[in-house]
């Protein structure tokens, strides 16, 4: 009777032990989901929690494609842990299962946002004709030569060219080179930075087609803190107001300047009329922007996933931080990210948008 009694006792104890394991597993799963779901929301759509400009979150969502891949990898690893421990450690398996489900959902969510926003294809071939062609190219402090910029201006037949990190001499040289081919654009440069009496060593230049008339820098409107931006108005009052923008990068020491710069851009969209054009390196993606009364050309042309920085990685992995915004008086015919030329040394791709007056 001794062995029979021990078997019976073991049989009675096993369901209790299994029940305790199951209870711990359910508790572990619940806690994991409680913790991980808000994190997944922050990594997929932080706008729901007004967290898109928080340090850490802002940098992560700037690279949605790499983040989607990283989350997918995390989901695969967590699923492998679940399969390995599901019979040996219910608590570990439950936590791994929760992590796998949530990270997979976040990966799919980020991929879905990119798919909704369109294609990451690049190239300037086949751009349509419009009333205004706007080109943005960060020259990275002269890494891209005036000849490279002039070649692209001629290729896309740009009427407005925003050139962050290009100085006065280089902008004048671009103007000279395109004039040799029959295009006439007038250069201008600003080094003014909000909150500082000293001029920035990092310039922002603008070229405007002569056929649009003469333009003057509006010094009253001010600039972005950290890096220079400028507002140019038509001297005769006829024509669009043009903003060449370059807010500070979202580095740990410049987050406040970055946020203030994005607010400055939103203010221009709200104050400068329906025909305003804002173009430049925003150091931000559309996830970070408050567009106000403007529209983002890349979003309107379903080209928003194509990244402009850094140019050393494929466009589908890069961050789309260079933008053309247009007021309500414009419709977007097309917008493209353009690969740098073989001789271009900047770490940015160019961005071009073709607009038509409504």
* Cross-strand bridge partners of residue 323: 280
pLDDT for res 6: 39
Q: How many CA atoms lie within 13 A of 136 on its CB side?
A: 31
Give me the chain's average pLDDT, please: 91
Omega cis (within 30) before 310: yes
Q: Taking the model in full, what pTM does it have?
A: 0.90
pLDDT for res 86: 84
pLDDT for res 24: 64
Q: What is the pLDDT of residues 23-60, one digit of tens each?
A: 665 776 778 788 889 999 999 999 999 999 999 999 99
pLDDT for res 344: 66
Sheet with 242-245: strands ordered across: 215-217, 230-234, 242-245, 277-281, 322-326, 295-296
With bands split at pLDDT 50, 70 and 90, how would you rate the model's confidence at 22?
low
Percent of the chain's residues with pLDDT above 90: 81
Q: Which residue has the tokens 């106000």?
A: 292
Domains in the chain (CATH in brackets) are 2-117 (no CATH), 132-357 (3.60.10.10)
How many angstroms separate the CA atoms of 68 and 54, rounded?
A: 19
With bands split at pLDDT 50, 70 and 90, how would you rate the model's confidence at 18?
low
Q: Which residues have CB under 8 Å from 311's CB, separation 6+?
A: 318, 339, 340, 346, 347, 348, 349
pLDDT for res 211: 96
- Has residue 286 got a pLDDT over 90? yes
More reliable by pLDDT, 4 or 303: 303
pLDDT for res 10: 35
- Has residue 262 got a pLDDT over 90? yes
Alpha-carbon dihedral of residues 11, 16, 20, 23, nearest 10 degrees?
Answer: 110
With bands split at pLDDT 50, 70 and 90, how would you rate the model's confidence at 3?
very low
- With beta carbons less than 8 A apart as the criterion, state whether 196 and 215 touch: no
- Has residue 280 got a pLDDT over 50? yes
């Amino acid at each position: 009777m001794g062995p029979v009694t021990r078997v019976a006792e073991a049989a009675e104890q096993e369901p209790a032990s299994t029940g305790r394991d199951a209870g711990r597993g359910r508790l572990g799963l619940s806690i994991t989901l409680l913790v991980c779901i808000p994190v997944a929301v922050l990594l997929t759509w932080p706008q729901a929690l007004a967290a898109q400009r928080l340090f850490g979150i802002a940098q992560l969502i700037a690279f949605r494609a790499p983040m989607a891949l990283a989350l997918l990898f995390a989901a695969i690893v967590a699923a492998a842990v679940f399969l390995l421990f599901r019979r040996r450690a219910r608590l570990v398996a439950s936590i791994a299962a929760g992590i796998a489900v949530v990270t997979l959902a976040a990966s799919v969510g980020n991929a879905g946002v990119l798919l909704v926003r369109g294609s990451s294809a690049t190239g300037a071939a086949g751009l349509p004709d419009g009333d205004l062609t706007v080109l943005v190219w960060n020259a990275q402090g002269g890494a891209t030569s005036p000849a490279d910029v002039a070649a692209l201006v001629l290729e896309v037949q740009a009427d407005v060219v925003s050139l962050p990190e290009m100085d006065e001499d280089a902008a004048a040289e671009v103007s000279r080179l395109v004039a040799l081919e029959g295009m006439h654009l007038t250069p201008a440069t600003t080094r003014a930075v909000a909150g500082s009496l000293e001029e920035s060593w990092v310039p922002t230049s603008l070229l405007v087609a002569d056929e649009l008339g003469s333009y003057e820098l509006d010094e009253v409107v001010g600039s972005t803190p950290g890096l220079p931006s400028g507002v140019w108005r038509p001297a005769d009052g006829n024509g669009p107001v043009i903003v060449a923008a370059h807010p500070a990068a979202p580095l740990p020491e410049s987050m406040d300047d970055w946020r203030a710069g994005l607010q400055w851009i939103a203010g221009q969209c709200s104050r400068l009329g329906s025909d305003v054009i804002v173009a430049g390196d925003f150091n931000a993606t559309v996830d970070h922007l408050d567009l106000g009364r403007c529209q983002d050309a890349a979003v309107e042309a379903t080209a928003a996933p194509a990244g402009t920085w850094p140019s050393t990685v494929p466009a589908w992995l890069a961050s789309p931080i260079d933008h053309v915004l247009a007021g309500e008086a414009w419709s977007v015919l097309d917008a493209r990210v353009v690969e740098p030329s073989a001789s271009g040394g900047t770490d940015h791709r160019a961005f071009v948008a073709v607009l038509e007056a409504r």
